[in-house]
Structure 1
């Protein structure tokens, strides 16, 4: 565990989608693909600007998220990676990931991405059930995921994540089990499982509100989580974070940077970052982002760029609260007492010992001489634990 990281992670938000999923509340846009060339130019400018006063020695991970990054051509990826390489020093073992829609993955395209140094794919499988994929308005079917995995292996990818969603209307324990079995049959190195959150403004939330879809059942959702924990554990995956499982050595290093509350910069419209003690967000609309970056001049203090619209320097108490909330999601590591003291020059148990003791008595936390972490029993009650501590 490293709460005192001296490296930087970089997230690049690609906000374009061919279609928008019914559950999605992310900053994404359809029918704007014609903006992609101008967007890539704007993003390159932002890379150049944010690097000027960067105090971090090296970058340890780069992550292309969205949206649908695989709407970019291999040439556009190449240009962005070149800008990143020219402006930042990279660690020798840098992890470069991209999210991917299974529909977009041809063998030539995958080979080009792999040759560029993108060696980790995160594929949005979501479900193996045809009706559930229709409910989500996904562009792919189950066979497309199977084909995408086969092509990715042929292209040389040895580090692949599959995303799945559970706890949504009309899903049953049986269809969830079938999706888990299908995902495991594809033998990914990493699996992320996300409980559905009905977000305001999404079509899925509207349908539930209007009564055309039932409200998800919390008890059934908990049963699905327990089933997944058993299935994935039996298959040899380690649950290293509340929603993430990996084969040994394949934990997502970029996401670990988030969970350590370590520094990362977010670039592109609707990105978020935390670096230099500042937590910030950027312009949402791609059109405005492109315009602002085209007009950008001068130098900016790190991590600011002309795209930053909402920024705040955190107090130590706020940074401690964020760090505890994030680190306690790490089920194997939890919060290292020594690393915490090194970072904040204060003793964690002196600050929160009484609260921790109450959760220990309930069987939700455990405290060892080295760390504090959530127990198996506490995993389903983690949000309540976070609220109490913060």
Structure 2
């Protein structure tokens, strides 16, 4: 009896059941933790994702069961904590958008409506990767989910993928969030390649002051216009703008504070752990995942380049009044992309302050990525 107990104990040890794919993912998780903690690459995103990845690849923990189907409340205790977070993923992206809206100042976009064009241009990478994925043999639903990585918007990527290509959710979500966190690494080389030193040194005029009335009307108007054109955008755009209305109306400070602090922090932890947990070695380390990772970089680089190139064109048209670096902020990584524009610009000219100018395209990119996802969902969601 004692021998059987000892044998069973040894047989249940995780190290005995560790396969090489799970081992690789554990190393990847540790590397992501290193980037987050040592290098400071968006730790709020990378740490929960990496730790979720670490936990789900340690064999025998039972903390995550991929593709679990829950048919009764009694089964919840058997599927693992992170599986429950994963099951909640349909509502988590919209709640993230509610919090983002409560933290976002659309003033720079309202003050300079032309920056909406830069936010739109940066979505070019989404459609570039879409057609590349089609060429590589993915169907339209899968290609849409892969392309949306180029928006550098994790919640939007999860929202679209769970509806169009749920089998790709783990790879798409990990790629989207990883590239969001690696914005400071990926964007600067592209920005410097496509601009001259003289362009990077351009100082822009101060933006005009935006009235509270404009800030209150903006989220209402955007919601009505966008949802009338694209009803599928309501869950993302609607909650994004509701959060912003909480912030700007001056009557719901408690709601704004909750959405922008406690709620979004809780949801970020849950979503990050669920995303990381879905990257289990046996299902994650396949050929399709490698293609998705490559196409994700392609999409993100394409969006960054398109934003910078349009900003260069706008600079030429305006006689040198627009610093092309702000075009890279048209991706939806708020406020990371805007900070990168500021950092690269200030490296060339220490007296240059591009942050507020870059925030216009940056917040436009949030709207743009949600609209792009809604277009794809409207086109391919019925198939």
Q: Would the TM-score normalized by the shorter structure come out above 0.5?
A: no
- Is the strand fraction higher in 1 or 2? 1
Alignment TM-score, normalising by the size of structure 1: 0.25
